Structure 1
Amino acid sequence: MNGFETFWQAYPQKQGRDKAEESWRKKTKGVPIEAILAGITKWAASQKWAEGFIPLPATWLNQGRWKDDPEQARQISSSAHKTALAAKRLIERKEGESGGG
Structure 2
Amino acid sequence: GLYWYCLELIAQNVEKHNLSFELEHDAEIISADVGIHYELVQEMMTYMVDLDLFEDTDGIITCLKLAARSDEYTQKLLRNNPIVPIVSRQSPDKVPPNRTEQKRLEKDNGRAPHTALDGFDEFWAVYPKKRKKKTALDIWRRKKPDASVLIADVRARIAGDKQWLKGFVPDPTTYLNGERWNDDMGDSTSAPKTTDDYALEFGMTRRSDEPDERFRIRVRDAMLVRERQ
TM-score interval, normalised by the smaller of the two chains: 0.5 to 0.7
Equivalent residue number for residue 4 of structure 1: 120
1:3 to partner: Cα distance = 1.0
1:69 to partner: Cα distance = 1.9
Q: How many residues align?
A: 73
Equivalent residue number for residue 62 of structure 1: 177
1:2 to partner: Cα distance = 4.0
Equivalent residue number for residue 83 of structure 1: none
Cα distance in 1 for partners of 2:140, 2:121 equals 10
For the 8 Å contact 2:119–2:148, the answer to whether it is kept is no
CA shift in 2, pair 1:68/1:43, >3 Å: same
Unpaired stretches in structure 2, ≥5 consecutive residues = 1-116, 190-229
For the 8 Å contact 1:38–1:66, the answer to whether it is kept is no
Equivalent residue number for residue 47 of structure 1: 162
1:32 paired to 2:146 = yes
Unpaired stretches in structure 1, ≥5 consecutive residues = 75-101
Of 2, 18, 26, 2:134 maps to 18
Superposed structure 1 runs of 4+ greater than 6 Å apart: none
The DSSP-based 3-state class of the residue aligned with 1:6 is helix
Which one-letter code corresponds to 2:177 in the other structure? N
Which one-letter code corresponds to 1:47 in the other structure? K
Aligned-residue identity in percent: 35
Cα distance in 1 for partners of 2:172, 2:151 equals 13
Which one-letter code corresponds to 2:151 in the other structure? L
Using structure 1 for the length normalisation, give the TM-score: 0.65
Q: Give the root-mean-square deviation of aligned CA atoms.
A: 2.0
Which one-letter code corresponds to 1:46 in the other structure? D
Using structure 2 for the length normalisation, give the TM-score: 0.30
Q: Tell me: higher relative CO, structure 1 or 2? Use CA pairs within 8 A at least 6 residues apart.
A: 1
Which one-letter code corresponds to 2:129 in the other structure? Q
